[in-house]
Amino acid sequence: MADQATRQRVDVLRRELNDHNYRYYVLDDPTIPDAEYDRLLSELETLEEKHPDLVTSDSPTQRVGAAPAAGFETVAHQVPMLSLANAFADDDVREFDRRIREQLDREVIEYAAEPKLDGVAIALRYERGELVLGATRGDGRSGENVTSNVRTIRAIPLRLRGADVPSVLEVRGEIFMTRSGFAALNQGLTEAGDKTFVNPRNAAAGSLRQLDPDVTARRPLHFYCYGAATSDGLPQRHSDILDALREFGFPVSNQVERVQGADGLLDYHRRTLADRDGLDYDIDGVVYKLDDLDQQREMGFVSRAPRWALAHKFPAQEEITRLLDIEVQVGRTGALTPVARLKPVFVGGVTVTNATLHNLDEIRRKDVRPGDQVVVRRAGDVIPEVVRSMVEQRPADSRPWTMPEQCPACGSAVEQVEGEAVARCTGGLVCPAQRMRALEHFASRTAMDIDGLGTRLIEQLVERDLVKSPADLFRLDVPTLAGLERMAEKSASNLVEALDKARQPSLARLLFALGIREVGGVTAANLARYFGSLERLAEASIEDLTAVPDVGPVVAEHVHNFFNEPHNLEVIRALSEAGVKYRPEQVQQGGELPLTGKTYVLTGALESRTRSEAKAALEALGAKVTSSVSKKTTTVIAGSDPGSKLEKAESLGVPVLDESGLDELLGSV
Ligand code: 9MJ
C-alpha cells in the first residue's frame, strides 16, 4: 500500500500533467519546456509502477496526447501512428543494437538513421494519386482531420508525381516551421501587438490547427516525410522507400543515411549533433530504424512502440531553474550588464550557473525577477540566456527588479541616458572595473601624451596597486618604477621625466584625457575654448553646455553627470595637488563664424522655407538652434501660429524676430 505522501504526490503530478497537456494540445500555449514535462511524466510512471493500485484510467500515463479541440473532425488511423522508444545515453543505443542482433541472429545490422524533426507528426492519405486526407497523430489511434490546412502547405504534393502510383498510399512525416520563418512570424506578431509563439514547434502546431486555412496558408510551414504506413508496392528497405517517396514528390531530409552497427549509429548521432545549430530547423535528436522491412516485422512491437526503431535524443536546450539573483557587472567601458545567477542546471549539454539578461529594457520586457522560476536556454556555443519567467508561479509579494543607482564596483552614480539601452557608471577614473582602460586612455598620445607609459606597464602598476587613479601616476618615483618587470634605472627615469613634461597640458588635452563619455578631441577643444577653465565647466548647466558648438543634449548630459560625481571632482583635485596645472585657455565664445555662440529657437510655421531649412542655414553660420527658450536664448524666430515659445520669450525678455527679420539676419551676415 502506498503511503499518504505518495498518494498526494501522484495526485499533484496527475493534475499538473493534465493541465500541461491541456495547455499544450488545446491552447497551444505550454508553460513548461518539454524536458520538464517528460520528467514529471516519468516520475508519475515510476510511482505507478511501484504502486499499481494507484493507477486510474484517466491518468496521463494511460494515453498519449489529449482530446482533439472542438472544430476539427476526428478520424481513425487505419494503421496506428507509432510512438518511439527514447534513448539518451550511448549504452541505451548499444543495448538496442545488441537486442536486435540477438533476436535476428546476425553479426552486423544495417540501419537507416534520420534527424528527428521537432514539429507536428502528420499522416497523409493519397487515393489514386490524390491527397484526400491529412490527419494529426492525436493519440496514435485517431487524430484530427486537418486536410484543408495541410493542402495549404506547399511542400506537400496535392497529387503524386509519376504515372505508376499506388491506388492507396499513406505517407507519414513531420510538419515544422523553419527557424527563420519562425523569427519573421514572431516579429510580425510583435509589430501587430499580438502574442508571440514560444518556439517553432508550437508555432507549427498552432498554425496547423487554425480553423481558418487562410491563416495557415500565410504561415511558413514545411514538411519532411519519414515513412509510409504500409509497404504495398513499395521497396523492401526503409531507405529505398524514402527514395521512392522522394520520386513521388515528397521532401525527404538529405541527412538520412544508411549506417551499420551501434558504432555507425553513435557516429551518426555525434555528427548530427555537431550540425544541429547550423540547420534552419529544430531537431531534438536522431531516429534509428532497422532498414530491412522483413527484419522490422520479425522484431515486432512492445505496446505502441516498434522494437525496430529508437529515438536517440539530444540534450535539451531549454530547462527550468531558479533565478537566485540579478547581479550587475561593470565592463571596461563602464557599461553595466545585469547577469542572472542561477541555481545550477544542466542544459544544452553543460551545467549553467550564469546567464545573460542583456540590459534593463530586456529585463522589463520579459518581467524577470529574482526568485522567479525561469526558462534557461543554451543552444550550441551561444551564451546561455534567460528566455522567460514562469510568471504564474511567482509569489504575490514579488517586485520588479531595478538597476542599482550606484556602481557596484566603485559606488559612483549610475547614468541612464534617455533613449540608450545601456546604463553606465560615471566614475570611469576611480572605478576599479574601468581603471586599466581609463589610465591607458589618459596616458595615450592624443591625451596626456605620457611617453613610455604603455599597456604592459599600466597593467603592472594597477595589479600591484601602485596606481588607482591618474593622480597616482605623478607620484611615481624612479626606485619604484625601476623595480617593475622590463624596467631599468634608465627607462624609469625617462618615464619620470615624461610625467613631468605632461604636468602642463592644454585644458583641451586634460579634458579629453579625463575620458568623459562621448567627449572626443574636437568636443574637448570646443568646451575648453568656450569655458576657459575646469571650474567654469564644472559649474555649467545642461543648457550652458548645449550652447557650445558640437554639443548636443546627450553629450551635455554626460559632461554634466561627470562633474556632478564627487569621485571625479576628487580626481581633478588630486591631479592639481600632484602638480598637474593645465595651461589656461583664451575664452572664445565667438568663433570664426558670424553666429558662433549665438542660440536661436524656431517656432511657428515659416513661409519661404521649412523650419529644418532655417535651422540648417543658421547652423551653417555657426549658430546653435535649440528647441526650448531660456534666458540664454539669443533670439526667438517666430513664424505664424507660434504658440507658447513666443510667450516664454516675451516673459523672459528674449528678443523676437519674424520671418523677414530672419531673412535680414541670414542675408546680412
Ligand atoms: C521525426 N520526428 O523526425 C519518426 N521522425 O518513425 C522520424 N519520427 C517516426 N521518424 C516512426 N524521422 C514513428 C515516428
Decide the pairing of beta strands 257-260 and 142-144: unpaired
The closest-lying atom of ligand 1 relative to the alpha carbon of residue 83 is: 13
In the sheet that holds 635-638, the strands lie side by side as 624-626, 599-603, 635-638, 656-657
Mean pLDDT, rounded, for 557-574: 93
Mean pLDDT of 392-414: 90
- 632 is a catalytic site residue: no
**What pLDDT is recorded for position 633?**
92
Position 636 pLDDT exceeds 80: yes
pLDDT at 29 over 90: no
Give the residue among 423, 446, 415 at the shortest CA–CA distance from 511.
446
Enter the C-alpha cell of residue 183: 523569427
Encode pLDDT of 408-435 as tens digits: 999 999 998 777 778 999 888 889 899 9
Which residues are CB-neighbours of 609 under 8 A, at least 6 positions away?
A: 617
Verify whether ligand 1 is closer than 6 Å to residue 82 (CB atom): yes
**CA–CA gap between residue 518 and residue 122 (Å, rounded):** 58
User: How far apart are the CA of 633 and the centre of ligand 1, in A?
Assistant: 74
Which is higher by pLDDT, 39 or 612?
Answer: 39
Contact predicate 11/54, CB 8 Å: no
Q: What is the Cα–Cα distance from 629 to 21, expressed in whole angstroms?
A: 62
Q: Which residues contact 535 (CB under 8 A, 6 or more apart)?
A: none
d(Cα 306, Cα 94) in Å, to the nearest integer?
A: 17
pLDDT for residue 235 is more than 80: yes
pLDDT score recorded for residue 656:
92
Assigned C-alpha cell, 652: 523672459
227: its cell numbers: 515513412
- Give me the pLDDT at residue 26, please: 40
- Residue 503's pLDDT band, with cuts at 50, 70 and 90, is very high
Q: Is the dihedral of CA 628, 630, 634, 635 positive or negative?
A: positive
| Residue whose grid cell is 589656461 | 584
pLDDT of residue 466: 93
| In the predicted structure, residue 646 carries a pLDDT above the cut 80 | yes
- Ligand 1, from 86, 114, 223, 279: best to mutate by most atoms within 8 Å of Cβ? 114
Judge if the beta carbon of residue 171 lies within 6 A of ligand 1.
no
The pick from 82, 174, 299 for probing ligand 1's pocket by mutation, whose C-beta has the most ligand atoms within 8 angstroms, reads 174
> Is residue 383 within 8 Å of 340, Cβ to Cβ?
no
169 CB near ligand 1 (under 6 Å): no
Q: What angle do CA 486, 492, 495 make, to 5 degrees?
A: 115
Confidence of residue 608 (pLDDT cuts 50, 70, 90): confident
Distance between alpha carbon 618 and the CA centroid of its chain, in Å?
44
Q: How far apart are CA 655 and CA 636, in angstroms?
A: 6
Least confident of 18-32, 211-225, 346-360, 626-640: 18-32
- Does the beta carbon of 114 sit less than 6 angstroms from any atom of ligand 1? yes
CA distances from 599 to 377, 604, 615, 622, 636 (A): 53, 17, 11, 9, 9
Q: Which atom of ligand 1 is nearest to the CA of 227?
A: 6
CB 44 within 8 A of CB 61: yes
With a 6 A CB cut-off, is 226 part of the ligand 1 pocket?
yes
- The confidence band for 65, taking pLDDT boundaries of 50, 70 and 90, is very low
Strand 110-117 vs strand 283-290: parallel, antiparallel, or unpaired?
A: antiparallel
Q: What is the pLDDT of residue 555?
A: 92
Ligand 1 atom with least separation from CA of 289: 6
Domains of the chain, CATH where assigned: 4-62 (1.10.287.610), 74-313 (3.30.470.30), 318-393 (2.40.50.140), 422-591 (1.10.150.20), 599-668 (3.40.50.10190)
Counting residues of the chain whose pLDDT is more than 90, the rounded percentage is 59
Percent of the chain with pLDDT over 70: 95
Separation of CA 380 and ligand 1 centre (Å) = 23
What the block records as the C-alpha cell of 463 is 595589479
Q: d(Cα 627, Cα 610) in Å, to the nearest integer?
A: 15
Q: How far is the CA of 184 from the centre of ligand 1 (A)?
A: 27
CA of residue 297 to ligand 1 center, whole Å: 17
Instruction: Indicate the pLDDT class of residue 613, thresholds 50, 70 and 90.
Output: confident
Torsion angle of the four alpha carbons 112, 114, 120, 126, in this order, in degrees rounded to the nearest 10 = -50
Cβ 174 under 6 angstroms from ligand 1: yes
For ligand 1, say whether the CB of 84 is within 6 Å of any of its atoms: yes
In this structure, the residue with its CA closest to atom 10 of ligand 1 is 226
565 lines ligand 1 (CB under 6 A): no
Separation of CA 464 and ligand 1 centre (Å): 62
CB of 116 closer than 6 A to ligand 1?
A: yes
pLDDT at 335 over 70: yes
Taken in order 562, 564, 565, 568, the sign of the CA dihedral is positive
Q: Where are the alpha helices (DSSP H) in 318-464?
A: 360-366, 435-443, 455-463
Question: How many A from CA of 95 to the centre of ligand 1?
Answer: 20
What contacts 303, CB < 8 A, 6 or more positions away?
none
pLDDT above 50 (res 66): no
pLDDT in tens, 301-330: 887 789 999 999 998 889 999 999 999 999
Q: Does residue 228 register a pLDDT over 90? A: yes
Asked whether 441 lines ligand 1 (CB < 6 A), one says no
CA atoms of 420 and 194, how far apart (whole Å): 26
Q: Parallel, antiparallel, or unpaired for β 599-603 and 309-313?
A: unpaired
Q: Closest Cα to residue 239, out of 265, 259, 268, 267?
A: 259
**CA atoms of 159 and 654, how far apart (whole Å):** 81
Tell me how far the alpha carbon of residue 345 lies from the centroid of ligand 1, in angstroms: 29
Q: What is the DSSP letter of 450?
A: -
pLDDT for the residue numbered 270? 97
Residue 555, classified by CB atoms within 10 Å of its CB into exposed (0-12), middle (13-18) or buried (19+), is buried
Rounded distance, CA 149 to CA 295, Å? Answer: 36
Residue of 295, 191, 200, 279 whose CA lies nearest to 238? 295
Average pLDDT over residues 532-538: 92
pLDDT tens readout for residues 253-305: 989 999 999 999 999 999 999 999 889 999 999 999 999 999 999 999 887 78
Average confidence (pLDDT) over 588-602: 73
71, pLDDT greater than 90: no
Query: Given this model, what pLDDT does residue 174 score?
Result: 97
Kindly report the average pLDDT of the chain as a whole number. 89
Instruction: Give just the sign of the alpha carbon dihedral 486, 491, 492, 498.
Output: negative
The pLDDT of residue 25 is above 60 = no
Contacts of 324 (CB under 8 A, 6+ apart): 341, 342, 343, 370
Q: How far is the CA of 224 from the centre of ligand 1 (A)?
A: 10
Strands 599-603 and 624-626: parallel
b/e per residue 64-80 (b: at least 16 CB within 10 A) = ebbebeeebeebebeeb
Query: For residues 380 and 502, what is the distance between their CA atoms, to the nearest angstrom?
Result: 50
Q: Find out whether the beta carbon of 227 lies less than 6 Å from any atom of ligand 1.
A: yes
Question: Residue 65 Cα, ligand 1 centroid: separation in angstroms?
Answer: 16
Substitution site in 77, 120, 224, 226 for ligand 1 pocket (most atoms within 8 Å of beta carbon): 226
Query: Which residue is associated with the grid cell 527514447?
Result: 86
Enumerate long-range contacts of 541-549, CB under 8 Å, 24 or more apart: 543/630, 543/632, 544/632, 546/624, 546/626, 547/597, 547/599, 547/624, 547/626, 547/632, 548/624, 549/591, 549/596, 549/597, 549/622, 549/624
Atom of ligand 1 at shortest range from CA of 121: 2
Q: Cell triple for residue 539?
A: 559649474
Is the CB of residue 309 below 6 angstroms from any atom belonging to ligand 1? yes
Confirm if 561 and 414 have CB atoms less than 8 A apart: no
Of the listed ranges 20-29, 40-49, 409-418, 496-505, the least confidently predicted one is: 20-29
Of 116, 313, 615, 645, the active-site residue reads 116
The 10s digit of each residue's pLDDT in 92-140 is 999 999 999 999 999 999 999 999 999 999 999 999 998 999 999 998 9
The identity of residue 537, as a single letter, is: L
The C-alpha atoms of residue 67 and residue 62 are separated, in whole angstroms, by 13
Cα–ligand 1 centroid distance for 174 (angstroms): 8
Quote the CA–CA distance of 149 and 117 in Å, as a whole number: 20
Ligand 1 site, residue 637, Cβ cutoff 6 A: no
Q: Which of 66-80, 165-179, 405-419, 574-588 has the lowest mean pLDDT?
A: 66-80
User: What ligand 1 atom has the least distance to the C-alpha of 119?
Assistant: 2
Averaged pLDDT for residues 186-200: 88
Q: Does the CB atom of residue 287 touch ligand 1 within 6 A?
A: yes
Of 136, 137, 166, residue with least CA distance to 150: 136
Model confidence band, residue 617 (pLDDT cutoffs 50, 70, 90): confident
